[in-house]
Each structure stands twice: as structure tokens, then as C-alpha cells.
Amino acid sequence: MREKKIKRNLPALILFLIVLQVFAVFLTYNLIVLQVEVPQYEPFGNVTIGQAGLNALLLLIPVVVFTLIFIVFLKILGMKILRLILMLLSISAVFFLNPVYAFALLTNYFSSSSASILSYLLTFVLIAFVMYSFIGYNFWVSNIATFVVSAEIGSLFAIMLSPPTLFVIPVAFLLYDIYAVFFGPLKTFVKELKKRGKAVKIKKDEERRGLNLGRLIANIGGFSIGSGDLFFYSLLASAAFILGGIFAAFIVMLAVNFGILINLVLLVKYKRMLPGLPIPLALGLLILLFFWY
């Protein structure tokens, strides 16, 4: 049954991922054309692998700390409080990030003043989607919010990062993803969800459509993909476009999505939760490295 379900829903999942990556590349193109100033992320420098490693560590440590804090909050305060915190963080990210992208797109068609007004109107609409994704149970609302925010952040970091930091950060996170899923915080997080009083209701909904954690998870045909995974898929496609143009972006997208297909084959075979980053990112980074050289 599991194999039949994957085959039936696979086209919708792959289409969602392809459109996500294309949208991220489109956002990147607009930021470059309009020459939007984006600061480079290289706090320790960006000449040696050691410097790139420190840059990656500076991003990884907060992710680990926040994950542990969320688990503690889940144990002590429950799922409702955790969702509220995640919702407030997501709203803040959208409020500060989305107007920049919306303005960059709208200035192609409207005057600066009109584009500014419309960009904030669209931002408030997206914020409403984000809020409802945490409060309600409409997974398409959650998917739209996850789609837009993941593509925007992935596109932004593609411009902020350059080699070697561009390569080291995904490697650091794919290694952490393996640890988190099999041994670390994510495994503990899922176990804690199942222990809670609402676990039975959540589990039934998860089996039918996927776990609802607001815009942090996209649920496509019963497949649950974290926004962190979607961020890195968008990042590689956008970075490939910057380094090698549209052809490079296309080839990297093929590699990443082929890696996702391999993940699904392994999911059917082993019937357990698997990390979504290692195989797609490894394949995408190999192609990206080729275009960089």
C-alpha cells in the first residue's frame, strides 16, 4: 500500500518541488536585475575552507540550540505554545523579507510608490496565510506559505553566499540532518509528539495528509517535507543560476530532484523516517562544483 501511495502521489510532489525551484530562480533573477544590495555572509572571511567552516558553524549552532529549545517547550508547555512561538517567528521573517521581493517584482509593472504599497499588501496577505497555516488545518494554505517563504529565503542566501562558504554550509547541514533524524533532536521531537495527549489525533491526520506544523512543513499527497529541506533545494537552484546561468540551474535541479527520487525509493524499502538533505544536496553540490570550476 505504501508503494502504491508513493507512485500515485509522486507526480504532485515532484511538480511542487520543480515549481518551487523555478520560482526561487525567478526571484534571484529579479534581485540581480534590479541590483538589490544584499550583504555577503562571510563573518570569518571567505578565502579558506577553515573560514568557510566557521561561517557554517555560526549558522548551525543556532539551529541546534533552537531545535533543543523547541523540544523543551513541547515537553513543558505543549504543542499549542510551540506553534504560537513558531508562528510569531515566521510572521517576523515574512514581514521583513517579503516586501523586498514583492517590491523587486512589482517595480517591473508599477511605479515605485504603487509597487511599495502593493508589496506590503501582498505581505499582509502572506502573513494571513502563515497565521492560518498554524491555526487551521488547511494544508494547501500551509503549502502556499511554505512555498513562498522557502523560495524567498533560499534565493536570498544564494546571493549572500559565495564559494567556498556556499559549498561548506550545505555539507554541514546535510551531515547534521543525518544526525538529527537518526540519533538527535528530530527523532526526539517526533517521539515526544507521539507521547502527548493529542498524539492519536495528530497521528491519524498525519497518516491521511501529513503532520501539521504550520508553514514549517509542506504536505503534498501525504509526503511531509520540512521548510529547511525546501530552503536548501531552492538555494542550490538559485546558486547554480548565479554561477552558471539558466542551464546550470536546470542541471542542478535535475540532480536534486533525482536525489529526492532516490530518497523515496529508500523510504519504500526501509519504511522509516529518512533525512531529506544528504542525497539531493550531495548530487546537487557535485554538479554545482563543476559549474563553479
Domain that holds residue 207: 2-292
Q: Which three cell numbers, joined as nine digits, stand for 292?
A: 563553479
How far apart CA 103 and CA 108 sit, in angstroms, is 9
- The per-residue pLDDT for 67 is 79
- The per-residue pLDDT for 209 is 45
How far apart CA 262 and CA 259 sit, in angstroms, is 5
Sign of the dihedral through C-alpha 41, 46, 49, 51: negative
Sign of the dihedral through C-alpha 170, 181, 271, 136: negative
How far apart CA 143 and CA 178 sit, in angstroms, is 24
What tens digit of pLDDT does each residue of 106-158 get?
887 888 899 899 999 999 998 888 888 777 666 777 788 888 889 989 999 99
Query: Are 276 and 177 a contacting pair, CB within 8 Å?
Result: yes
How far apart CA 194 and CA 197 sit, in angstroms, is 8
What tens digit of pLDDT does each residue of 233-252 get?
999 999 999 999 999 999 99
Q: Which three cell numbers, joined as nine digits, stand for 200?
A: 492519536
Number of independent structural domains in the chain:
1
What tens digit of pLDDT does each residue of 251-269 get?
999 999 999 999 888 887 7
pTM for the full model?
0.86
Query: Are 119 and 102 a contacting pair, CB within 8 Å?
Result: yes
